[in-house]
Amino acid sequence: MKTFALFLLTALAEIVGCYLPWLWLRQQGSPWLLLPAAASLALFAWLLTLHPAASGRVYAAYGGVYVCTALLWLWLVDSVKPTRWDLLGGGLCLLGMAVIMFAPRSN
């Protein structure tokens, strides 16, 4: 559960770091949005270093959580309700994340 919470926080930092420049470029937002965007992306990079597993495995598993977090963002921030296909795809991504992160390993 701790790993999943860390993935979720990491995904939020990445999404915010990318969303704010999008607001600036596509929605004529303030250029000041770039400062918290940069801070959010720096937080994202730092959070990735907190995961105990090998970095490639972390990035692969993180992708599943990122997809689901992006769908949640779509719903809560962009006010677009995910379809059943979105939810099915997100569920498959989470299943893939669980297989990658929690499979038995030998050293």
Mapped onto helix, strand or coil, the DSSP state of residue 9 is: helix
pLDDT in tens, 58-99: 778 888 889 999 999 999 999 999 999 999 999 999 999 888
pLDDT in tens, 30-52: 999 999 999 999 999 999 888 77
Q: What does the alpha-carbon distance between residue 79 and residue 20 come to, in Å, rounded to a whole number? A: 17
For residues 94 and 65, the answer to whether their CB atoms sit within 8 Å is yes
> Per this entry, what is the length of the chain?
107
pLDDT score of 4: 78
- Residues with Cβ within 8 Å of 42's Cβ and at least 6 positions away in sequence, in order, are none
For residues 105 and 79, the model is more confident at: 79
**How many CB atoms within 10 Å of residue 79?**
7
Comparing CA positions, the residue from 68, 70, 75 lying closest to residue 96 is 68
